[in-house]
Structure formats: structure tokens, C-alpha cells
Amino acid sequence: MIEARKIRVKPPDARLPQVLALLSGWDWLQLDGDNDELYDSPAVAVFNTWWQIATKRIFEDDLGATVEPIIVANLAYRLMVASPAVPLLHDYLGNESIGEALTASLISTMDSLQVQFGSANLADWHQPIATIKWTPLGLGTVPDTIWMNRGTYIQFVHLGKGPKLYGRNVVAPGQSGSPFSLHFSDQLELYKTWTYKPMRLNRQDLQGHIESSLTLYAEPK
């Protein structure tokens, strides 16, 4: 005679489909388009909080309480992909699967944000913006800039012959390191709005765009 056993399976968190849809539809940008000093998408708060909780859950018992999430990003990636190029030799998960660890971390994230923002509505979870504080050397001031999970210098170049070689870039706060220059902080608005300026890659590109030139030479002995 076979005895039937009742196994209680914990039901999935009813909030998971909504928060997963939020993250799946996010473009990964941390923007403040309406200048209210809050990131526009609630996904920013969800992802940033989840990443802290997930990395702590997975790595703290092995690497210690001072583990930095950015340091273990490569390890976390290799846990998440099916066949990493360089497999991990240490078991960071213990008795959990990576799916269980990430799901539990996401549930903890939702619990934490619900308390933090005093609301169960994802639409209310808008994280205050972080800022880059520029400290110029010498004279001059540069206003703080929103931090948008990107570098302050970005360039992309299309390689090819003739007109097929072109590039765009932005270097915040500006091209010049002199606070007396008009180009000391004139690229902050480009940086803030995710726009770029053309790169002048040859003499023909420079025509009509040279403001001044400086020739250096050595005094003869």
C-alpha cells in the first residue's frame, strides 16, 4: 500500500509578474527628464536595491560583509549564464539555485521598497537622483551633474574610408581644463541629455571649426 503525502508548496509572490514586467520594459537608463530630482522609472529603485540585496545574499558568507557589489559583478554574471567562458571553481550558492537566490532577493527588494516609500504601488518607487560633484582645481565652479550609470567620456567611431570614417563623443564637463575657457564646462548639457558632438578626425573636418591655434617650438641653443 502506497501512502499518499501532502506536500505544501509555497505559492509564488503575487507581486513578481508586475515587477518583472517593469524590469523587462526598462531601457536601463537612469534619467530625470522632468527635473524633479527623482529618476523617472521605478525600475531604477528596484534594480539598484535588488543588486545590493542579491550580491549580499550570494557572496557575503564567502567573501565577508564588506563585499562590494561592483567587485563581484563578474562572478554574478558567471553564475547567471548557462556556460560561462571561465566557470567558477567555488560554490557560492550553497543549497540554493541561482534562480532561487535571485527570486528571493527580488522579493526582499519589494518588501524593502514598500516600507521605504510607504506604498505597495510600484509607480510610487522613484529613487532620488545621485549626482556627480565636480571639484575643479583652481578658479571656476562646475554645477553638479546627475549620475546616469554611464561614463562622463563617451565616444563611438564608425570605421571606413573617406566619409565612412566618422565619430561622435561627449566629454563632461568640457574639453578644456582651464576655468577661464568657454569650453571648461560647455558639454554638461550634452552629457545630461544623452547627445553628442561630431569628432573632427581630419583636416577637412577642421575647416570652419578652428577657434585658435598654438604652435610650440624650442629655443635654439
What are 169-184's pLDDT values in tens digits?
Answer: 998 888 887 777 788 8
The pLDDT score that the predictor gives to residue 160 is: 86
Rounded percentage of the chain residues whose pLDDT exceeds 90? 45
The pLDDT score that the predictor gives to residue 176 is: 81
Average confidence score pLDDT of the chain: 86
Helices (H), 7-165: 16-24, 42-63, 73-80, 98-117
List, for residues 105-149, the tens digit of each pLDDT value: 999 999 999 999 999 999 999 999 998 887 766 666 777 778 887
C-alpha cell at 144: 553638479
List, for residues 79-93, the tens digit of each pLDDT value: 999 888 888 999 999
The pLDDT score that the predictor gives to residue 74 is: 92
The pLDDT score that the predictor gives to residue 16 is: 94
The domain made up of 16-124 has a fold known as 1.10.1400
- How many residues does this entry show for the chain? 221
Q: How far is CA 176 from CA 59, 157, 165, 181, 198, in A?
A: 43, 22, 25, 7, 16
**Where are the CATH 1.10.1400.10 domain residues in the chain?**
16-124
CA distance 189 to 60: 40
Instruction: Please name which of 98, 105, 88, 113 lies closest in space to residue 13, comparing C-alpha atoms.
Output: 105
| CA within 13 Å, CB half, 205 | 13
The pLDDT score that the predictor gives to residue 54 is: 95
**What integer is the mean pLDDT of 48-72?**
91
The pLDDT score that the predictor gives to residue 15 is: 92
The helix (H) or strand (E) run that includes residue 206 is: helix 203-206
129 burial via Cβ count (<10 Å: 0-12, 13-18, 19+): buried
